[in-house]
Structure 1
């Protein structure tokens, strides 16, 4: 009898936990059931879309546009980046990884050059004796004499303020400088006109040859150009963290999760990686820092390769060039800006980046597989979701193998006719995998919203305390 009563109590507790009631609470000696409340379809969509917007728009740190680009052209490029981030978000993470590894290498090279570690000249002081004391030894100097003499105390106060002012204006090269350089932050001006965006090795060579002066730009000044700071980035991270937390609570209490939230979760996971890699990269900088040519004894062409690529407006170039830039297969150089999806030094740590890219793509697709047994309005939509999830999980690895087989000079089969047939089949396979992935991504985005038309009642129930967590 006692066992039957205990089973009934446990059953009722489980029912109360899953029931879509408002502020219903059940307690026992050892267990307190959570309080549930209802949510609306608009709140589901708004929280997911806001998080998705944070992942696709706010988390992207584009390179600096050309001074000749119109506002419409800049907006169009930004929309193109958003579309790419929606279709192939894992390549955006790899893009951020390439820039992060390149920024570390640039920081090492510029620190070793010695051009950017020169202390800022001190201002003249009324007290010459104290002015000759190094700033780092100022605190160890005999201050008793300064404090005892009122006239000299004023001098010490000025030097004390100047010391901390100089500390805040640190001209040492940092990771922020490297990101700023890689995103096209230094523009060479000749005769008052912008000539070309400088690359890292070009800056060092021109400074070494005395053709330009070392840029005097602090990390604080670069941050002033940026549209993002710790607070703005923190708000985005807060929203993404809240979104992930509320999905975890739904899983704990066995509440239904929508396909839109599952897809947004995949973007949120990749968003954390992108933000971590681009934390020191300035956001939405519109104007590069000018560096002026001062040499009169040497020609510009002797120091800089001026062979560049001009944008074409045809559709093929608009599609092919970004793909080549994202995969780092081939990068065109533009005269007045760095490529849209580049800003790296090339193939450093290539195999690590390839492995990381495949792992990220597999993780991104695997998260969509969480919705394998979710409730769908129709069986066809469930089948399409499963096929698309498997496609975006497996095709990145297969795509890379096919691509490497074509361009890795691995085809040594004879006779020639068989080699050509295998070569053509490899190209067809590579294109097929690429199209399959794109179709799968588009299909998942469409299904995220079409499945909202008929949701189970459990999907409208949520834990009350999750709304108390700060979020946007």
Structure 2
């Protein structure tokens, strides 16, 4: 993490320096200190700190990594998370497209499960309204269920040993053929496993809003704005676009739901 921060600082310094007045210019502006208030002058580290906090707040909360595999170690998990941070910083468009695609597939996975099993079980218990409502509560999938299945939330165990991470289509096929039982997990249980909630996203959005207000105020007063700040605004804005699509996606889940193979299926 320290190397990543150091690299980001070294990468950003040229952008800031390119935007600051140069002493080697042929024409040098004479600045009268009486015309500027202390709030108008900023140091290099002030700019780096402001941009760094905004980038970290927006990209860190925007990243929603998939659930690690059963054989993934701590080093691999950290490396995967750092790679996502680098992608979010330097290719923010990819994160936005990825979030939109996952939202579409998660929504479709939930609809497929509800069509395939929800109506079927509700119809089989139509004579008993209480049982029908209970089965609906178990089998009706939400968008959170779709995200959970898409991010590797269901792991197949055979004879007590992990065998594979099931995709939504594989899980649906195994349940339909009777190889595994229908997973019984509610949306509240999935959210309880999540390490993040809407508060983190709201704090990041507030940080971005404050950053934008500062830029607008400086522009209105005729004060200079660095290239780094403009680039930070673009990266943070693209990261925030992914928030609505990943709002229902669980964050930083480490334990998947175990699905046992039915030997009698």
Among 158, 166, 187, which residue is 2:155 paired with?
A: 187
In structure 2, C-alpha distance between the alignment counterparts of 1:239 and 1:277, rounded to whole Å = 20
Partner of 2:46 in structure 1?
A: 43
Structure 1 residue 92 and structure 2 residue 92: aligned? Answer: no
Q: Aligned residue pairs: how many?
A: 224
- When Rg is computed on C-alpha atoms for both structures, the one with the higher figure is 1
Equivalent residue of 1:114, what SS?
helix
Structure 1 residue 66 and structure 2 residue 100: aligned? Answer: no
Shift of 1:114: 2.8
Matches within 5 A, 1:285-324: 285-297=253-265
Question: Conserved in 2, the CA contact under 8 Å of 1:184 and 1:197?
Answer: yes
What is the Cα-based RMSD across aligned positions, in Å? 2.7
In structure 1, C-alpha distance between the alignment counterparts of 2:264 and 2:182, rounded to whole Å = 17
Partner of 1:269 in structure 2?
A: 237
Structure 1 residue 101 and structure 2 residue 69: aligned? Answer: no
Q: Which runs of 5+ in 1 are unaligned?
A: 1-17, 23-35, 120-131, 136-165, 298-472
Structure-2-length-normalised TM-score: 0.76
The 3 A distance-change label for structure 1 pair 210 and 249 is same
Among 6, 16, 21, which residue is 2:37 paired with?
A: 21
Partner of 2:3 in structure 1?
A: none
Identify which of structures 1 and 2 has the higher relative contact order when contacts are C-alpha pairs closer than 8 Å and 6+ apart. Answer: 2
Question: Conserved in 2, the CA contact under 8 Å of 1:179 and 1:282?
Answer: yes
The 3 A distance-change label for structure 1 pair 116 and 278 is farther
> Can you list the C-alpha shifts for 1:147-201, whole angstroms capped at 9, x where unaligned?
xxxxxxxxxxxxxxxxxxx9xxx54311011011111111111111111111112
Question: Conserved in 2, the CA contact under 8 Å of 1:189 and 1:290?
Answer: yes
Shift of 1:253: 2.4
Question: Conserved in 1, the CA contact under 8 Å of 2:40 and 2:223?
Answer: no
Structure 1 residue 82 and structure 2 residue 85: aligned? Answer: yes
> Can you list the C-alpha shifts for 1:254-274, whole angstroms capped at 9, x where unaligned?
221112211100111101111
Structure-1-length-normalised TM-score: 0.44
Equivalent residue of 1:267, what SS?
helix
Structure 1 residue 52 and structure 2 residue 55: aligned? Answer: yes
In structure 1, C-alpha distance between the alignment counterparts of 2:213 and 2:80, rounded to whole Å = 33
The 3 A distance-change label for structure 1 pair 187 and 133 is closer
The 3 A distance-change label for structure 1 pair 199 and 66 is same
The 3 A distance-change label for structure 1 pair 295 and 263 is same
In structure 2, C-alpha distance between the alignment counterparts of 1:44 and 1:117, rounded to whole Å = 59
The 3 A distance-change label for structure 1 pair 79 and 71 is same
Matches within 5 A, 1:141-220: 170-171=137-138, 172-220=140-188
Q: Which runs of 5+ in 2 are unaligned?
A: 1-33, 123-127
In structure 2, C-alpha distance between the alignment counterparts of 1:274 and 1:109, rounded to whole Å = 24
In structure 2, C-alpha distance between the alignment counterparts of 1:271 and 1:176, rounded to whole Å = 20
Partner of 1:457 in structure 2?
A: none
In structure 1, C-alpha distance between the alignment counterparts of 2:90 and 2:48, rounded to whole Å = 20
Equivalent residue of 1:290, what SS?
strand
Question: Conserved in 2, the CA contact under 8 Å of 1:110 and 1:116?
Answer: no
Matches within 5 A, 1:48-447: 48-115=51-118, 170-171=137-138, 172-297=140-265
In structure 2, C-alpha distance between the alignment counterparts of 1:76 and 1:256, rounded to whole Å = 38
In structure 2, C-alpha distance between the alignment counterparts of 1:236 and 1:274, rounded to whole Å = 12
Equivalent residue of 2:251, what SS?
coil
